[in-house]
Structure 1
Amino acid sequence: MSEATKSVFARKALTTIGWESDVLIRVDATGRIVSVTPESGLESGAYAVDVLLPAQANLHSHTFQRAMAGLSESRSPAGRDSFWTWREIMYRFLDILDPEDIEAIAAFAFVEMLESGYSSVAEFHYVHHQPGGGTYAKFGELSERIAAAAGTAGIGLTILPVAYMQGGVDGRALAGGQLRFGNDLDHYLKLAEEAKKAARSVSPDAGFGVAPHSIRAVNERDLQALEQQFPGVPFHIHIAEQIPELEEVQAAYGQRSMSWLLDHMPVSERWCLIHSTHMNEGETARVAASGAVVGLCPITEANLGDGIFNGVHYLNAGGRFGTGSDSNIRISPSEELRQLEYSQRLRDVSRVTLARDGKSCGRTLYDAALQGGAQALGRSSGSLEPGNWADMIALDTENATLLGLSGDRLLDGWIFAGDRHAISDVWSAGRHVVQEGRHRDRAAILKTYKARLASILERV
């Protein structure tokens, strides 16, 4: 879908109207949807699928952590492990990665995202420098590597260069693995311009946003400067993820993390509040009213022992959310939604906790994550309608988890019983990158990843 207007024909498609039959979707040479026509015939040259859905956007990823899978599951000598002990392992791991490693890992992670049903990703990119903090000859070297990996895989990229300026709310200096993240404000502004150029070099649908790492890592003055310096672009931040974080912020600022942020910054629709795990009822209502998207990463949050997001109250308040693969220990939009719902069920000793508006649970979750993900990336996607990028996935109704199902039950079957094997095809801005469940360049990208990973594991 790169040279001329082409079309996809779906026997069933989830459109802005709902489930419709015999839907013909035409896509232009730029990768945007031109028309969506139900009750159509199968025209010559159209690519036919069983079921077509808008594809999810992955709103939070650190691709380099994909190669850490399996390296942090042993109990430490201290006897009680947490996010903070995991973080030390992560710092040691990233300190051995070179630019070729980072690009190869990212390319393979992007392949897995596409095969699992994500068509775009917001890469929360915070490894900027050499081990020890020295800059590369090209200041934006690692941003260019991430962009190149996205181009190789064909995924829609929103790059989020991360601002990381201090080691804690007390302003202490960065140390150890954090040195690869660090920039003062002037250097960050230069880095952001390099990242923006790198993204633009990939494809017309690539985007750019800003990501102050957290209120631990960026002080109030610099946070306000970033918000003012980059108007109108996605603005992502980690917030209220860990109880020790809340305690540190409370001790320094006299407020809980989320309350401080809401009181001191103009949180709005362009903000994505990553994790937001530990909010009280007042904060939950205020975030929902702000129009911001909460970026949930339930698989990673479970793996790190973060806690359980208050999804029931948040959705009751009209809150917006999307999902991300974060540490990429397991990449699957359907499993992120499943984990989100199951965490609520376990906490509340209940079932079907997040279903709304007479929809099934799977449909409720899928619709909400579509809209929240598109908003968080600042991407024209999330629905099959003219003007949007052709970010689409097809489900194979011959997959065992989908047999005999139709309508919303297809989503329930995929989310609560299926996995990526139920996906036959994926398009990202019209790029037909997955066919018959397999990425078009999987073999070559996997070969490079395997070689780099073998070298990495020798150095660990």
Structure 2
Amino acid sequence: MSAAADARAGALFAHHALLPQGWRRDVLLEWNVHGDLTSVAPDTARTAQTAQAAQAEYVLPGMVNLHSHAFQRALAGLTERAGSASGKAAGKSADSFWTWRELMYRFAGRITPAQIEAIAAQLYAECLRHGYTAMCEFHYIQRDVDGAPYARPAHTAERIAAAARQTGIGLTLLPVLYAHSGFNEQPLIEAQRRFRSDPEFVLRVVEALEGLRGPQLEVGAAPHSLRAASMAQVRELAQALPAGRPLHIHIAEQQLEVDQCLQATGRRPVDYLFDEMPVDARWCLVHATHLSASEVARIAASGAVAGLCPTTEANLGDGLFPLEAFLQAGGRFGIGSDSHVSHSPVEELRWLEYGQRLLHRRRNIAVTDRQRDVATLLWQRALQGGAQASGRRLGALQPGSRADLLVLDAGHPNLDGAAPGEVPGRLLFCGNDNLVRDVLAGGAWVVRDGRHVAQEEIARDYKMALRALRAA
């Protein structure tokens, strides 16, 4: 049964809720059967009517996960063994993103559509339990195991959409353009056979998904990277995609990628993209780790979102995004869990800040002149950037937005007696217990008392998928 099917009109009386203008007291939140907030009324008198509504002490908007490769959830924890010492002695490169990618390719080469759906459902349920209420799925396993197209071009994307419906999470599906193995249009290698696509293929997938679009699902597209798609192909896809749909791209994740781009084009990746394309607010530049000062300024001025994935970027040894300079330039960012070594927005935001502290050897980096509280800035800015990157009405407790919200566990010792302004700091920087108690996504209660409403069924299917993969 789909968790989304449980959406119905409802109300919640929050003693403290984080609204766009800040924390407010005695907020009555109401939503309709379509899962949209219809009224957000602070300073509401406590009456017999409000007493009948569900009650909560601390309420936050649900977080957006703007970058996901769902199938990689099944790889988490299985790639943390170093290559052989003899290999290094023979002159082979040390473990890196590129050696991890070889392991990921082997896994991607044999996974079935049914397994993709089961793994995605497990991931999405976990993300909901930790406070994500929406995902952006960067989806590139689009062909059969032998590289042949499926009878329905959107077959595996439809499986991702089914997992989102089962769990109740909001979804932005991003079919991926993946045509080359490297700069200068190098042909794909055998391990990339399931990813092969061109603009025409991606647009067929987008068209096939049209009937699934609705309040809980949007469809955009994603050129995988400048090494995997020519600039002509990127331009063709961007121009043909319906107006306003989100466009995501991996960019400048690894220093080697920057070096290869310089060698092939004479320009760094972000400069190359901006020189050739009108990059604007519908773009999400994922990672953008290795930037020059001028590239920082160009991204910030464009209105595009930097899609940051600190736990994956740390796990893969990518590097640290120049957050301080980006904030000073007025840049927009959101967070994603990417390879899913973590499923928690708390961990992403915490390590976004901690990485900067280690880089600059100072404390409290993610602040501006107007917002001096680190945790509040991180949560609110990630909400805004994630909502923009999703192409959906998210990220704020206000009428017209989706009814996506988190009820925190006010009885937990970490929140005991907390003033509202202290809540974000205690949530992000006070240990690893999950403080999310209940989750509303699109007007449906999908998590209650820390458990997803379909947790056992989803976990059973996930375990069966893993057993089959191990036996393959």
TM-score (norm 1): 0.97
For 1:54, which of 56, 61, 65 is the aligned residue?
Answer: 61
2:18 touches 2:61 (CA, 8 Å); kept in 1? Answer: yes
2:24 corresponds to: 20
Matches of 2:63 and 2:217, distance apart in 1: 16
For 1:213, which of 224, 242, 246 is the aligned residue?
Answer: 224
The CA deviation at 1:359 is 3.1
2:153 touches 2:205 (CA, 8 Å); kept in 1? Answer: yes
* Alpha carbons of structure 1 residues 420 and 444: separation in structure 2 relative to 1, 3 Å: farther
**1:296-315 correspondence to structure 2 within 5 Å:** 296-315=308-327
Matches of 1:404 and 1:304, distance apart in 2: 39
2:157 matches 1:119: no
2:27 touches 2:40 (CA, 8 Å); kept in 1? Answer: yes
1:232 touches 1:270 (CA, 8 Å); kept in 2? Answer: yes
The CA deviation at 1:408 is 2.5
Amino acid at match of 1:205: Q
1:38 corresponds to: 42
1:75 corresponds to: 82
Tell me the alpha carbon deviations over residues 382-426 of structure 1, each in whole angstroms, 9 at most, x when there is no partner.
111101101111111221222232223110111112446200111
2:70 corresponds to: 63
Matches of 2:433 and 2:63, distance apart in 1: 13
1:136 corresponds to: 150
Amino acid at match of 2:299: V
For 2:360, which of 339, 344, 348 is the aligned residue?
Answer: 348
1:229 corresponds to: 240
Deviates more, 1:400-409 or 1:60-69: 400-409
2:264 corresponds to: 252
1:132 touches 1:176 (CA, 8 Å); kept in 2? Answer: no
Q: Gaps spanning 5+ residues in structure 1: where?
A: none
Q: Gaps spanning 5+ residues in structure 2: where?
A: 89-93
* Alpha carbons of structure 1 residues 219 and 354: separation in structure 2 relative to 1, 3 Å: same
1:178 corresponds to: 192
The CA deviation at 1:190 is 1.1
2:457 matches 1:450: no
Amino acid at match of 1:296: L
Tell me the alpha carbon deviations over residues 181-238 of structure 1, each in whole angstroms, 9 at most, x when there is no partner.
11123222212212333x32xx532111110001111101111111110131101000
For 2:11, which of 2, 7, 17 is the aligned residue?
Answer: 7
* Alpha carbons of structure 1 residues 4 and 179: separation in structure 2 relative to 1, 3 Å: closer
2:247 touches 2:284 (CA, 8 Å); kept in 1? Answer: yes
Matches of 2:43 and 2:433, distance apart in 1: 29
2:334 touches 2:385 (CA, 8 Å); kept in 1? Answer: yes
The CA deviation at 1:130 is 1.1
Matches of 1:164 and 1:192, distance apart in 2: 15
1:94 corresponds to: 108
The CA deviation at 1:68 is 0.3
For 1:106, which of 117, 120, 126 is the aligned residue?
Answer: 120
SS of 2:372's partner is coil
SS of 1:214's partner is coil
SS of 1:421's partner is coil
For 1:393, which of 406, 420, 423 is the aligned residue?
Answer: 406
Matches of 1:420 and 1:233, distance apart in 2: 37
The CA deviation at 1:2 is 5.1
For 1:439, which of 429, 433, 452 is the aligned residue?
Answer: 452
Matches of 1:14 and 1:187, distance apart in 2: 42
2:350 matches 1:338: yes
Matches of 2:191 and 2:172, distance apart in 1: 25
Matches of 2:432 and 2:451, distance apart in 1: 14
2:7 touches 2:444 (CA, 8 Å); kept in 1? Answer: no
TM-score (norm 2): 0.94
* Alpha carbons of structure 1 residues 280 and 457: separation in structure 2 relative to 1, 3 Å: same
2:91 corresponds to: none
SS of 1:137's partner is coil
Tell me the alpha carbon deviations over residues 114-133 of structure 1, each in whole angstroms, 9 at most, x when there is no partner.
00100000000110011231
Tell me the alpha carbon deviations over residues 294-333 of structure 1, each in whole angstroms, 9 at most, x when there is no partner.
0000000000000010000000111000000100111110
Matches of 2:54 and 2:375, distance apart in 1: 27
Matches of 1:3 and 1:298, distance apart in 2: 33
1:131 touches 1:177 (CA, 8 Å); kept in 2? Answer: no
Matches of 1:378 and 1:300, distance apart in 2: 23
1:158 corresponds to: 172
Tell me the alpha carbon deviations over residues 91-120 of structure 1, each in whole angstroms, 9 at most, x when there is no partner.
001111011110000000000110010000
Matches of 2:74 and 2:30, distance apart in 1: 38
1:132 touches 1:177 (CA, 8 Å); kept in 2? Answer: no
Deviates more, 1:69-78 or 1:328-337: 69-78
For 1:381, which of 384, 391, 394 is the aligned residue?
Answer: 394
Tell me the alpha carbon deviations over residues 238-261 of structure 1, each in whole angstroms, 9 at most, x when there is no partner.
001011111111111010111111
* Alpha carbons of structure 1 residues 4 and 329: separation in structure 2 relative to 1, 3 Å: closer
The CA deviation at 1:177 is 2.5
SS of 1:307's partner is coil
- Percent identity between the aligned chains? 44
Structure 1 stretches of 4+ moved >4 Å: 1-4
The CA deviation at 1:3 is 6.5
2:181 corresponds to: 167
* Alpha carbons of structure 1 residues 420 and 429: separation in structure 2 relative to 1, 3 Å: farther
Matches of 2:404 and 2:338, distance apart in 1: 21
